[in-house]
Amino acid sequence: MTKFQSISRRKFMSQSLALGCSLAASPLVTPVALASAPSENRLVVIILRGGMDGLDVVRPVGSAEFAELRPNMAGDGLDLDGFFALHPSLQDLMPLWERGELNFAHAVSTPYRDKRSHFDGQDILEAGTGVDALGRIRDGWLNRLLQSMPGMHAQAAYAVGRSDMLLLKGAAAVANWSPDAALNLSPQAHRLLELVMHEDPLFRDAMLEATELSLDEASSRNSAPVMDEDDMMQAMRANNRRQRNGASAENIARFAAGKLRDEARIAAFSLNGFDTHDRQAQALPNALDRLQSAILMLQSELGPIWGKTAILAMTEFGRTARYNGTGGTDHGTAGVMLMAGGALRGGRVLGDWPGLSEADLYQRRDLMPTRDVRAYAGWAMRDLFGTDANFIERILFPGVDLGTDPKLLL
């Protein structure tokens, strides 16, 4: 994986923290609402890892070539607009489609081409840059967005779950937490840990943030403070128990929704399992089920805020147009992006359809990309947060051509 510099997140909190000062007494670590965020809109970005097969998820059943390429898929999708049909595993999203709260953008890709590496592909997707930045990526595009939004406070954006997300890394303060994490320490242990970590900013900042966020969570769970060795062991084991079902897509989405109902405006997490080289018909439904559960959980938990929310689900690349020899598909180029939320002007499959004849395929093997996936994300930022077009094209997504306005929001 490409290395990026680790940037100390809560600099503003830790710089003034005196050596050995009690954490509990520090006003800097109680959640402080700074200036209100510039927008009431909410954004959720879901990174779909492994390369989701766009041709299977949003099936161009109206195309004669599709029936040849994917004979088993031509019949059983859920009709969207007469030409495209949705994968049956996403059927519980159909009510959203009918209410105009679901969009797709087809034949999209990042600028990444040809080597088809997951890891470089994901880095480019999360960095939001062109391919020229590979090897010297410093931050994620969602973090650069935050840097452009004055008055955003540290808990305005959440990276949720245990995986490490480049998408939100960078100079702007971001909260990182997982619904299955907890930290219970005695006050004395805290003081000593602060002391030994003081000169190592990576450790010091991570502990400060862990302490602050676990205090939030603990107060919502009413857990008792830990005082002795046995308490500590019990806390660790309780933590283990939570872990067994803690990191499911639903729990992650529920946790994210809780934060978005509160002070957060932006949340991001990732879902895995889209790398379907073998027996895709069995493998992909599991991954899609997690995606669907996450979206529906966000919808139900966000309540009235759903109307101000847009979810963008993006993947590093699509897959080969043809099946490979083992009932799966190999790494490809263009794919599909999913958008959901009450803020959307939905019910549309967007994009310029490139066709599927041999000559239409990219390198005669993959769906041809006809638009930069970052253009849709860029328009979404413009509509949700009023982000300046010049900023989008130069800083947020360097080199992107925003093109015509797809008018994503109501």
Partner 1 sequence: MRFDQYRAAIRFGCGLSPVIAPAVSASDMLSSLRGDDLLARRFPIPGFDIVLSAMVEMQAARKKSRRSNSEAEQRNFTEMRRARNRELRLESAGWFRNTLMRRISTQDGFRERLAFFWADHFTARGTGGVTGVGYMPYVEEAIRPHVSGRFADILKAVVTHPFMIDYLDQTRSAGPNSRIAKRNARFSGLNENLAREVLELHTLGVDGPYTQDDVRQLAELFTGLSISPEKGFMFRRRFAEPGAETVLGKRYGGDPARLSHVFNALEDLATHPATAKHIARKLAVHFVSDAPETALIEALEMRFKQTSGDLLAVYEVLLEHPDSWSSAQGNVKQPIDFIASSLRALAPTPDQLPTNPRAIYRDLVLPMSLMGQPWGAPLGPDGWPEADGAWITPQRMAARLQWGMAMPYQLRSFLPDPRRFARDALGPDLPKPVEFAAKAAETRSEAVGVVLCSPAFQRM
Distance of closest approach, residue 400 Cβ to partner 1, in angstroms: 23
Does 150 help bind partner 1 (rule: CB under 8 A)? no
Distance of closest approach, residue 5 Cβ to partner 1, in angstroms: 8
**What residues numbered 226-245 form the site for partner 1, per CB under 8 A?**
229, 232-233, 235-237, 239-240, 243
Q: Scanning the structure block, which residue is given the tokens 């309540």? A: 303
Q: Rounded to 5 degrees, what angle do the CA atoms 128, 134, 140 make?
A: 35
Distance of closest approach, residue 140 Cβ to partner 1, in angstroms: 13
Distance of closest approach, residue 244 Cβ to partner 1, in angstroms: 8
Q: How far apart are CA 6 and CA 272, in angstroms?
A: 24
Q: How far apart are CA 289 and CA 271, in angstroms?
A: 11
Distance of closest approach, residue 64 Cβ to partner 1, in angstroms: 21
Q: How far apart are CA 173 and CA 143, in angstroms?
A: 8
Site stretch for partner 1 (CB under 8 A), options 69-77, 124-132, 161-169, 386-394: 161-169
Q: Are 97 and 343 in contact (CB under 8 A)?
A: no
Does 197 help bind partner 1 (rule: CB under 8 A)? yes
Site stretch for partner 1 (CB under 8 A), options 38-46, 61-69, 140-148, 178-186: 178-186
Distance of closest approach, residue 178 Cβ to partner 1, in angstroms: 4
Widest CA span in the chain: 71
Does 316 help bind partner 1 (rule: CB under 8 A)? no
Q: Which of 89, 110, 214, 292 binds partner 1 (CB under 8 A)?
A: 214
Burial of residue 39 (CB within 10 Å: 0-12, 13-18, 19+) is middle
Stretch 57-86: interaction string toward partner 1, x if CB under 8 A: ------------------------------
Sign of the torsion formed by the C-alpha atoms of 157, 163, 168 and 169:
positive
Sign of the torsion formed by the C-alpha atoms of 90, 81, 113 and 408:
negative
Does 114 help bind partner 1 (rule: CB under 8 A)? yes
Does 4 help bind partner 1 (rule: CB under 8 A)? yes
Q: Which of 83, 323, 353, 391 binds partner 1 (CB under 8 A)?
A: 323
Distance of closest approach, residue 48 Cβ to partner 1, in angstroms: 13
Q: How far apart are CA 36 and CA 179, in angstroms?
A: 25
**What residues numbered 18-57 form the site for partner 1, per CB under 8 A?**
49-50
Distance of closest approach, residue 68 Cβ to partner 1, in angstroms: 14
**What residues numbered 252-311 form the site for partner 1, per CB under 8 A?**
272, 275, 277-278
Listed residue (148, 127, 41, 110) closest to 388, CA to CA: 148
Q: Which of 66, 177, 269, 306 binds partner 1 (CB under 8 A)?
A: 177
Q: Are 84 and 338 in contact (CB under 8 A)?
A: no
- How would you label 342-364 residue by residue, b for 16+ Cβ within 10 Å and e otherwise? bbbebebbbbebbbbeeeebbee
Does 402 help bind partner 1 (rule: CB under 8 A)? no
Q: Any residues with CB less than 8 A from the CB of 321 and at least 6 apart, and which?
A: 55, 69, 332, 356, 361, 365, 366, 367
| Smaller CB separation from partner 1, 139 or 383 | 139
Q: Which of 24, 32, 33, 202 binds partner 1 (CB under 8 A)?
A: 202
Q: Which of 188, 245, 286, 357 binds partner 1 (CB under 8 A)?
A: 188
Q: Which of 192, 224, 281, 410 binds partner 1 (CB under 8 A)?
A: 192
Distance of closest approach, residue 211 Cβ to partner 1, in angstroms: 8
User: Any idea what DSSP says for residue 178?
Assistant: -
Q: How far apart are CA 278 and CA 194, in angstroms?
A: 49
Q: Give 176's strand partners.
A: 159
**What residues numbered 335-374 form the site for partner 1, per CB under 8 A?**
363
User: Any idea what DSSP says for residue 395?
Assistant: I
| Smaller CB separation from partner 1, 199 or 220 | 199
Q: Give 104's strand partners.
A: 338, 349
User: Any idea what DSSP says for residue 344?
Assistant: B
Q: Are 83 and 350 in contact (CB under 8 A)?
A: no
Q: Which residues bind partner 1 (CB under 8 A)?
A: 1, 3-4, 6, 49-50, 114-120, 135, 162-164, 169, 175-178, 180-186, 188-189, 192-193, 195-200, 202-203, 206-207, 209-210, 213-214, 229, 232-233, 235-237, 239-240, 243, 272, 275, 277-278, 323-326, 328, 330-331, 363
